[in-house]
Amino acid sequence: MAVAFATCPLCEAGCGLELTLSDGGVDRIRGDADDVFSHGFICPKGASIGELHDDPDRLRTPLVRVDGELRPASWDEAFAEIDRRLNAIWEAHGRQALGIYLGNPSAHNLSVLIYGRALVKALQTRNIFSASTVDQYPKQMASALMFGSGATVAVPDVDRTDHLLILGANPLASNGSLMTAPDMRGRLRAIRSRGGKVVVVDPRRTRTAREADEHHFIRPGTDALLLFALVHVIFDDGLEDLGALAAHVDGVDEVRELAGAFAPEEVATACGIDAATIRRMARELAAAPHAAVYGRIGTTTQRFGTTASWLVDVLNAITGNLDRPGGAMFPRPAAGSSNTSGEPGRGRGAAFGRWQSRVRGLDEVFGELPVACLAEEIETPGEGQIRALLTIAGNPVVSTPNSERLAAALDNLDFMVSVDIYVNETTRHADVILPGPSPLERSHYDLALLGFAVRNVANYSPPVLEADVPQEWETLLRLAGIATGQGPDADVAAIDRFIAYEVARRQSADVASGLHGRDPDDLLEDVEPRVGPERILDLQLRGGPYRVTLAELEAAPHGIDFGPLEPRVPEVLRTPSGKIELAPEALVGDVARLHAALAEPVNGGLTLIGRRELRSNNSWMHNLPTLVRGKERCTALVHPDDAERLGLVDGAAAVVRSRAGEIVVPVEVTEDVMLGVVSIPHGWGHDLPGVGLSVAGEHAGTNSNVLADELLLEPLSGTAVLNGIPVELEPAHPRVRLTERAGHT
């Protein structure tokens, strides 16, 4: 028996795991009590990672479609097929004929984070899509406009705050998102036990809301109105105080003027929160010694997502809580941040809309197109039509809007390649599937998400078990070889060295790097004999703010704690002005649209929102018996008054209908959801033909993204409105069995 320590790569929390190993497998998993960040905390998903590794449905060999069927193939056969088919498409239709979709697990995968970008560049297509436009881009866009970079996101300093206002987030289920923080229950309880206050605003009484001092229902999609009203009160009462940031902020007067139109009395009806409560919330926020406002998925995947995200940080700034301990602060990750502008505390700022989607003319955002337009880009003939698709660790058929339209579009592709560990609802359409290793078979360092951690920590873990498939970075580089005309047997080591040299060259040019000014060849020599992601990570760590090496992290299996967050303004800024832009032009320009929403009648219609479950991870982790056992989780939560009015019965099936489609789902009648709101989790609907998920198929649930409307987008970031979809409900016909209808979807 041996004990190994690893960081859980399944979600943003990055908990430390202690694994007891024997006979090449995992005997026991528990939280690593000595982990510098998670201190022994673990959730049911992390405890099931051994089950994921052992899952018989997990792919261990490439699959290639022959005569309409996916059949096992050798790696050489799979790459030869990709080379042949893609080159034929590129020759006939050009590079834009290939689309790429990157799924959420890519953000937790060191190989994909580093080499995915290189592959995308090599493929030379602008048809790039990801899960970010059904998730967090509004927050990153607002941050980019205010602070100059989408990676510069302020996170609540939960361990030192006295007052935490949470909107549209359920960190007890997610363990933090754009706020990397294991054990959020413990951290929230600590706020209360030191005399602080936790306030939750959400259309649903979530697990987090139940832990809070106060919970307020809010009508979906009106968070920006509430936030503007809070800003209004702060200014109206003369409570604004930028503290140490005063010299670094532009646009305060403009925001004050804009907020004038959003008095609490103006927004109360729309939000469903009375004006006196809004005024009290604002005053308590301003009066707290240290306070932080935090908004997540309910504030981003809605029609005013970027505006709401902006106003979260406006509130943090004008209450003097931005960039100070106990407020909203900027993490300082050990690797990954950069400044190549040549001047500390300044940058080029953010540029959006540099190109548009071909069919609907939607703006590019962070180098991607909104995934809500993927189906039409495949369906619509003409120059630039997507005829081939590469998906990496993604399941857009289940996780993006109007699933049925996208699934039909995928059937019309000339060719599709997926890098994935399962045959899921999306990859069942592929012609070639290239499996990656299980999470225990690959190394892990959360290059992206440690940038959102509530404490400055770093944790690297080598593979715990030997892989029976190539590492993803090798697979991605073979694809890059095909993309660059080197064929299916390209020299992966040479491409890897080329990429590493580029990283070394950037470190050398980066004024913030500890390697600034060094010869790139010397830098590469310093990290020999490492190759692959470890070589690049080592370079980034050495250039990072703590000048730590990968060897030092390897010698610290429980991680290294670099201490609590520290003020970073102005050094962290990347705006051309070197200031925090409190009133960016793009956001100011969208305020009229928000104001117009005040005139919309509150008409008693039903609105659909999603919900997060602790045992689920978007569209996956549903194939593990431990995680799906127990009561059905894919249900529609309906308020008792709505249920009575519509004739819906607890436990019986209802038809839920939107402009995009309809599903049948069991009803759960509960006062935990606001009147007029229906809540269904996304990521379900596993009973489609050809899906190789035997356990998930028996707990199929229903795909709520059949209802999500690909035409309903937040206009600034192109992010799909997943919270706030108008729907109708009615009892399902008693003779319609759930399984039949679910199969239909």
Q: Binding residues for ligand SF4, per CB under 6 A?
A: 8, 10-11, 13-15, 42-43, 45-46, 175, 182
- Smallest gap from Cβ 702 to ligand SF4, in A, equals 24
Note whether 340 and 509 are within 8 A (CB).
yes
**Measured distance CA(601)–CA(619) in Å, rounded:** 35
- Smallest gap from Cβ 723 to ligand SF4, in A, equals 22
Q: Which one-letter amino acid corresponds to residue 119?
A: L
CB-nearer residue toward ligand SF4: 38 or 395: 38
CB-nearer residue toward ligand SF4: 14 or 545: 14
- Can you read off the two tokens belonging to residue 325? 């301990």
- Smallest gap from Cβ 154 to ligand SF4, in A, equals 22
CA atoms lying within 13 Å on the CB side of residue 289: 9
**Measured distance CA(557)–CA(36) in Å, rounded:** 10
- Smallest gap from Cβ 19 to ligand SF4, in A, equals 12
Residue 594 CB partners (closer than 8 Å, separation 6+): 224, 225, 228, 304, 307
Residue ranges of alpha helices (H) inside 467-590 are 472-483, 492-509, 520-526, 532-543, 550-554, 585-588
Cross-strand bridge partners of residue 726: 607
Q: Which one-letter amino acid corresponds to residue 629?
A: R
CB-nearer residue toward ligand SF4: 41 or 684: 41
**Measured distance CA(575)–CA(344) in Å, rounded:** 11
CB-nearer residue toward ligand SF4: 35 or 714: 35
- Smallest gap from Cβ 404 to ligand SF4, in A, equals 30
Q: Which residues of 527-536 are buried (b: 16+ CB within 10 A; e: fewer)?
A: beebbbbbbb
- Smallest gap from Cβ 186 to ligand SF4, in A, equals 12
- Can you read off the two tokens belonging to residue 739? 């399984």
Note whether 175 and 184 are within 8 A (CB).
yes
Residue linked to tokens 């873990």: 461
Residue linked to tokens 């009106």: 222
- Smallest gap from Cβ 561 to ligand SF4, in A, equals 17
Start-to-end CA span in the chain (Å): 47
CB-nearer residue toward ligand SF4: 14 or 203: 14
- Smallest gap from Cβ 15 to ligand SF4, in A, equals 3
- Smallest gap from Cβ 52 to ligand SF4, in A, equals 11
Cross-strand bridge partners of residue 31: 17
Residue with nearest beta carbon to ligand SF4: 46
CB-nearer residue toward ligand SF4: 279 or 558: 558
**Selection from 337, 298, 707, 374 nearest residue 514 by Cα:** 337
CB-nearer residue toward ligand SF4: 182 or 543: 182
Q: Which one-letter amino acid corresponds to residue 211?
A: E
CB-nearer residue toward ligand SF4: 45 or 126: 45
CB-nearer residue toward ligand SF4: 8 or 285: 8
